[in-house]
C-alpha cells in the first residue's frame, strides 16, 4: 500500500522539476539532480515514518493501560492535556516527530544544495534512508509481531479496524453496462481484482491534474505528448496484474472462456478510463488554443490501440501459454 502513496507524492515533484514552459528539456542535469534529491527525501521520510509507526503498538498500549506516560496523566489532571484517548497520544507525538524530521531534512537538503554546489544536497536524504533502514533491519526478526501488535491495538482503540483496499465499495455490476454481455462477468471480476490492489482511479486523476498543470503553464507539445504516452502506457500496463497466477489461475481461466474472450475482456478493462481520459483532453481543447478536437480524437485512438495491445500481450503470456502447453 505504500507504493501508490509514494507515487502520489512523487508526481508533484516530477511536475515541478520538469514542468518548465520556457524549455522543458533544458538544464536536464540540474532538474534531474533536484528531482533525485527530492525522491531521496520522500523515500527516507516514508521509511522513517513506516518504521516509527509500525513499532508504536507496544508503547501506545502501555500508555493506554497506564503503565507509561505518567507525566502526561499529571498534565491532564491540571487541564493541560489533549482531547484524545491516552492510547492515541503516542501517535500524536509520533506524527509531530516525523513531521519535524522531514522538515529538518528538507531544510538541510536546501542548504546543502546552496552551499556545497549541489553535492551536499544528497547527504540528508541518504542519511535519512540509512538511519531508517538500519532501524528497520534491526527489527526485522520481530517485525511481524510489531506490525500485528500495532494494527490490533489501533483497531481496538479506534473501533473500526484498519483501512484496507478490500474495504472499498466494489464496482456495481450494473455500472458496466457499456461492456458487451459476453465479457461483462469477466470484466467485472477483473475490475474488482484491480481495485483491491491499486487505487488506479486516484492515480489517473493525479495524472490528469499534471496534464492540466503542464497545459496551463504552456509546456512544449513534445513534452505533453511524451507525458501522455507514459500515462496511457502505465495505465494499460497495470492489467499485467490480471495475468499473475494469484489473480488468474490459468487452468481455471481457460475453463471459464477462451483466449480470445480474455483478450476482449481485458481490452474493456483497459478502456474503463477512456471516458475520463477523453473528457480531460476535451477540457484542454475547449479552454485552450494549442490543441484541437483532432488531437483529442488521436489520443482516444492511441488509448484504444494501447488497450488492445496490452490485453493481447498479457493474455498470450498467461492463458496463451497454458493452452499451448496443453
For 247-289, the pLDDT digits (tens) are: 777 677 777 888 888 899 999 999 999 999 999 999 999 888 8
Q: Measuring CA to CA, which residue among 131, 133, 63 is closest to residue 91?
A: 63
Residue 159 clears pLDDT 70, i.e. is over it: no
Cα-based distances in Å from 303 to 214, 233, 270, 292, 317: 20, 8, 9, 17, 21
> Which of 157-161, 169-173, 236-240, 318-322 is the least confident region?
157-161
Does residue 196 contact residue 167 with C-beta atoms inside 8 Å? no
Contacts of residue 37, Cβ cutoff 8 Å, sequence gap at least 6:
109, 113, 121, 122, 125
Give yes or no for residue 224 having a pLDDT over 70.
yes
Burial class (CB in 10 A: 0-12, 13-18, 19+), 281: buried
**Cα 106 to Cα 178: distance, rounded to the nearest angstrom:** 48
User: Rounded to the nearest 10 degrees, what angle do helices 221-237 and 200-217 cross at?
Assistant: 180
Is residue 297 predicted with pLDDT exceeding 90?
Answer: yes
Question: Quick one: average pLDDT of 125-140?
Answer: 88
Residue 31 corresponds to which cell in the numbers above?
Answer: 532538474
Q: What is the pLDDT of residue 166?
A: 46
pTM: 0.58
Beta-carbon contacts of 315 under 8 Å, excluding residues fewer than 6 positions away, are 243, 259, 262, 263, 266
Spatial contact of 235 and 273, defined as CB atoms under 8 Å apart = yes
* Mean pLDDT confidence for 34-61: 85
Q: Average pLDDT for residues 179-204, to the nearest whole number?
A: 85
pLDDT of residue 283: 92
**56 close to 150: Cβ distance less than 8 angstroms:** yes
Identify which has the larger pLDDT, 105 or 254.
105
Q: Where are the alpha helices (DSSP H) in the chain?
A: 2-18, 28-54, 57-64, 70-77, 89-115, 123-138, 143-158, 184-197, 200-217, 221-237, 250-256, 259-270, 274-287, 293-315, 321-325
178 vs 153, more confident: 178
Kindly tell me if the per-residue pLDDT of 77 is higher than 80: no
In this prediction, residue 88 carries a pLDDT of 82
Q: Is the pLDDT of residue 306 over 90?
A: yes
Mean pLDDT of the 297-301 span: 95
Q: Which three cell numbers stand for residue 259?
A: 483466449
More confident residue, 294 or 172: 294
Asked if 150 and 143 count as a contact pair (C-beta separation under 8 A), the reply is no
Q: pLDDT at position 4, please?
A: 62
pLDDT for the residue 205: 86
Amino acid at each position: 500500500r505504500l507504493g501508490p502513496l509514494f507515487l502520489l507524492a512523487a508526481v508533484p515533484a516530477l511536475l515541478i522539476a520538469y514542468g518548465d514552459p520556457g524549455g522543458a528539456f533544458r538544464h536536464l542535469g540540474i532538474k534531474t539532480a533536484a528531482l533525485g534529491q527530492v525522491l531521496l527525501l520522500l523515500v527516507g521520510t516514508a521509511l522513517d515514518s513506516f518504521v516509527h509507526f509500525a513499532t508504536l503498538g507496544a508503547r501506545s498500549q502501555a500508555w493506554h493501560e497506564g503503565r507509561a506516560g505518567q507525566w502526561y496523566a499529571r498534565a491532564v489532571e491540571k487541564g493541560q492535556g489533549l482531547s484524545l484517548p491516552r492510547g492515541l497520544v503516542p501517535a500524536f507525538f509520533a506524527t509531530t516527530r516525523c513531521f519535524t524530521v522531514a522538515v529538518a531534512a528538507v531544510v538541510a537538503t536546501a542548504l546543502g544544495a546552496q552551499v556545497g554546489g549541489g553535492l551536499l544536497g544528497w547527504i540528508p536524504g541518504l542519511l535519512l534512508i540509512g538511519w531508517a533502514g538500519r532501524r528497520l533491519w534491526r527489527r526485522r526478526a520481530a517485525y511481524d509481531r510489531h506490525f500485528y501488535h500495532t494494527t490490533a491495538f489501533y483497531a481496538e482503540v479506534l473501533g473500526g479496524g484498519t483501512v484496507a483496499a478490500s474495504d472499498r465499495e466494489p464496482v456495481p455490476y450494473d455500472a458496466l453496462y457499456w461492456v458487451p454481455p459476453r465479457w461483462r462477468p469477466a470484466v467485472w471480476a477483473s475490475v474488482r481484482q484491480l481495485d483491491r490492489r491499486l487505487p488506479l482511479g486516484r492515480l489517473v486523476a493525479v495524472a490528469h491534474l499534471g496534464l492540466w498543470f503542464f497545459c496551463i503553464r504552456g509546456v512544449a507539445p513534445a513534452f505533453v505528448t511524451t507525458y501522455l504516452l507514459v500515462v496511457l502506457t502505465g495505465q494499460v500496463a497495470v492489467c499485467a496484474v490480471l495475468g499473475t497466477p494469484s489473480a488468474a489461475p490459468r487452468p481455471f481461466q481457460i475453463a471459464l472462456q477462451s483466449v480470445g474472450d480474455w483478450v476482449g475482456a481485458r481490452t474493456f478493462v483497459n478502456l474503463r478510463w477512456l471516458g475520463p481520459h477523453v473528457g480531460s483532453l476535451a477540457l484542454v481543447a475547449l479552454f485552450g488554443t494549442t490543441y484541437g478536437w483532432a488531437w483529442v480524437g488521436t489520443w482516444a485512438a492511441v488509448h484504444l490501440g494501447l488497450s488492445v495491445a496490452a490485453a493481447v500481450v498479457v493474455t498470450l503470456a498467461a492463458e496463451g501459454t497454458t493452452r499451448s502447453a496443453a
